[in-house]
Amino acid sequence: MDLGSNFSAKLEPYLLMAKSLKGAAAAKLIVDVTSAPGVFVFSELLEMANIQELGKSEQHEKHLSLLQLFSYKTYQDYVAHKDLLPSLNEAQTRKLKHLSIVSLASERRILPYSELLRALDMPTIRELEDLIIDAIYLDILRGKLDQKEQQLEVEYTMGRDLEPGKLEAVMKALQNWSETTSSVLATLDAKILQISHKTELAKQADAEHEKALQATLKEVHEKQKDKALGIRRGVLGGSGFDRERDIMDVDEENLKGKNRKASSEAQPKTRSKRNRY
């Protein structure tokens, strides 16, 4: 559930009662609603015609100012204009201080204790921290008490009613925020595109490096293969030559032997022929 999303529902019973009330009864309703626990938004009640009519009565106009105070003003505004407003009871005082913290948090996220003590007229830090913890439990704001640094770190707050005449300022602030956000998003998109481009270039470089590496490895492998094949052929070729040379030597010896044998057989025949004559 969103922060403060049920606040409008808690105002609803008072809206129903206010439809038929005027004068003192309507003024009494304003005191009741500003004292009621859990009711922190009042714009719908403030816009009702019979409530606005209280401003025309000298007797009850203070109560209309009281409702305006709780709608979009702060405890400091109450202190500055006490004479023009009804006195606050304890419940109203505590609620207005809670709403004042919300208003201060809308201006900056870090709220020093010293500033809160002054703005809320709190006598001690202990009482201030109790007030802030109470606001957190009431779902008015989310944050963290930093006792070491003596400050309240606000994470999120409920939204208060918008004061008349402040709409233009809010619209301008939203426009500035929108333009700043658009600028930041455009910068982020450009950075993402730049990173994507660099990543793609890096991938291409890696692919080319891998391709060159594989080509080099293949070339080295082929050279080693050719070298090994050449050595093998050389070894096989030398062995064949030696065998052929041995065979030739044997044939030559055999031929010489045969020639000597033929010569020795031919010599006796010649001698015998000579003796006959």
Q: pLDDT tens digits, residue range 201-252? A: 999 899 989 999 999 988 888 888 888 777 777 666 555 445 555 555 555 5
CB-count burial class (<10 Å; 0-12, 13-18, 19+) for 77? middle
pTM summary value:
0.65
Q: What percent of the chain has pLDDT over 70?
A: 81
Using CA atoms, how far apart are residues 156 and 101, in angstroms rounded to an integer? 12
Q: Supply the pLDDT for residue 174.
A: 75
Q: What is the pLDDT of residues 47-82, one digit of tens each?
A: 999 999 999 999 999 999 999 999 999 999 999 999
Using CA atoms, how far apart are residues 262 and 217, in angstroms rounded to an integer? 68
Close Cβ partners of 95 (under 8 Å, ≥ 6 residues apart): 34, 35, 40, 70
CB-count burial class (<10 Å; 0-12, 13-18, 19+) for 192? exposed
Using CA atoms, how far apart are residues 64 and 233, in angstroms rounded to an integer? 114
